[in-house]
Structure 1
Amino acid sequence: MRDHRKHPRKPVELSLAFRIGDGPRVDARCRDISLGGMFIETASPAPFGATIEVLLSLSGLKQPAVIPSIVRWTTPEGMGVQFGVMGARETHALTELLGSL
């Protein structure tokens, strides 16, 4: 199977949360991440095409980053999301994280 991702993903173990719309915060784990997206391990994946907010603690940021994302695929174990537009601080913190992996 060929990988068509623009940004290669790196394996990682991170705690995070996500929210669908104004819904409740759902705690989950990240299995891999790139500048373009991540795989979120959760027993409650959002449906394909859903817009979610990923809440991720990143080094150098006082508050968790809130990253708008779109669900691009799902499995029984979780979902693959594509990140939307991030601010400069969030992008820098994510780039630093990826450089340390």
Structure 2
Amino acid sequence: MRDHRKHPRKLIGLSIAFRIGDGPRVDATCRDISLGGMFIETASPAPFGATIEVLLPLAGLKQAAAIPSIVRWTTPEGMGVQFGAMGARETYALTQLLGSR
């Protein structure tokens, strides 16, 4: 199967959270990440096409970055999300994370 992603993925095990609309915070794990999105391992994935807010801890930021995202696919193990617009600080911090070993 051909990979159509624009950005290379980095395998990672990072504790994150997400929120669907005004719903409760759901703790989860990020399994891979890129500048364009991530795979979120969770027992309760949001439905395909849902708009969610990903709460991502990034080095150099005082609090977790709240990144608007859209669910692009789901599996029983979780969901793949595409990031929406991020600010310059969040983009820089994410780029630093992706560049680290």
Please state which band the TM-score falls in when normalised by the shorter chain. over 0.9
Q: How many pairs were matched up?
A: 101
CA distance in 2, matches of 1:44, 1:68: 18
CA distance in 1, matches of 2:28, 2:81: 13
1:1-101 alignment, distance < 5 Å: 1-101=1-101
Q: Deviations over 1:7-48 (max 9, x none)?
A: 011100100000000000000000000000000000000000
Q: Deviations over 1:47-95 (max 9, x none)?
A: 0000000001100000100000000000000000000000000000000
CA distance in 2, matches of 1:44, 1:95: 28
> Letter of the aligned partner of 2:36 in structure 1?
G
State the identity as a percent: 87
> Letter of the aligned partner of 1:27 in structure 2?
D
RMSD: 0.4
**TM-score, normalization: structure 2?**
0.99
